[in-house]
């Protein structure tokens, strides 16, 4: 009995330490056009690039899509999920990167603090909000945030010399 209680306490302590690494949990949101109940949480274990825009034909949005397109092949091999939150009700993303759409784009913009016309966020495989900006950003910066997140840095530190 004591052994099982001790094991349970150790497991609980381990889980709380592992969960404590998520410093800035990304706000959850629903995804439209996919199976019912699909949300950001269902993508745990995969990095997510979220692009928020007021207009589907906006200059910043199109420029960001072009930048991401140039290095998309690097993201596809890592199974990165791309999500667009288009506030004007647009249902198509004008590029060949497979985007899924956020169900309530205005709420996503508010939850992520995107007050202007445009924003980009990177959510790590652990659900941590690793990066967010309201400006156009280089695709290389997005790539660096996806591939050099907290989880991968921690794993590389544990490698024997």
pLDDT at 153: 53
The domain 23-157 having CATH identifier 3.40.50.300: the answer here is no
Q: What is the dihedral of CA 99, 103, 107, 111, to 10 degrees?
A: -50
pLDDT at 26: 94
Q: What are phi and psi of 66, to 5 degrees?
A: -65, -40
Segments making up each domain of the chain, as ranges: 23-157
32 or 110, which is more confident: 110
- CA 99, 118, 45, 4 dihedral sign is negative
pLDDT at 37: 64
| Whole-angstrom distance, CA of residue 31 vs CA of residue 37 | 8
For 9-31, the pLDDT digits (tens) are 344 444 444 444 678 899 999 99
pLDDT at 71: 87
User: Within its chain, how far is the Cα of 23 from the centroid?
Assistant: 14
For 91-123, the pLDDT digits (tens) are 888 888 899 999 999 999 999 999 888 999 999
Task: Give DSSP secondary structure letters for 37-103.
Answer: T-BGGGGTTS-EEEEEES-TT-HHHHHHHHHHHHTHHHHHTTT-EEEEEETT-----SSSS-EEEES
pLDDT at 147: 86
Which DSSP state fits 19? Answer: H
Taking the whole predicted model, whether its pTM rises above 0.75 is answered as yes
| Whole-angstrom distance, CA of residue 125 vs CA of residue 152 | 9
pLDDT at 12: 43
For 38-96, the pLDDT digits (tens) are 889 988 889 999 999 999 888 999 999 999 998 898 887 788 999 999 998 878 888 88
């Amino acid at each position: 009995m004591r052994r099982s209680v001790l094991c349970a306490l150790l497991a609980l302590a381990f889980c709380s330490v592992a969960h404590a690494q998520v410093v800035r949990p990304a706000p959850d949101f629903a995804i439209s056009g996919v199976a019912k109940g699909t949300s950001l949480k269902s993508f745990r274990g995969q990095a997510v690039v979220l692009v928020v825009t007021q207009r589907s034909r906006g200059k910043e949005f199109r420029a960001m899509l072009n930048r991401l397109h140039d290095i998309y092949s690097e993201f596809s091999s890592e199974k990165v999920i791309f999500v667009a939150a288009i506030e004007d009700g647009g249902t198509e993303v004008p590029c060949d990167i497979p985007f899924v759409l956020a169900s309530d784009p205005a709420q996503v913009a508010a939850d992520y603090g995107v007050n202007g016309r445009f924003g980009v966020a990177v959510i790590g495989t652990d659900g941590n909000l690793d990066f967010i900006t309201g400006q156009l950003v280089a695709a290389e910066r997005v790539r660096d945030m996806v591939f050099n997140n907290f989880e991968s840095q921690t794993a590389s530190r544990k490698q024997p010399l």
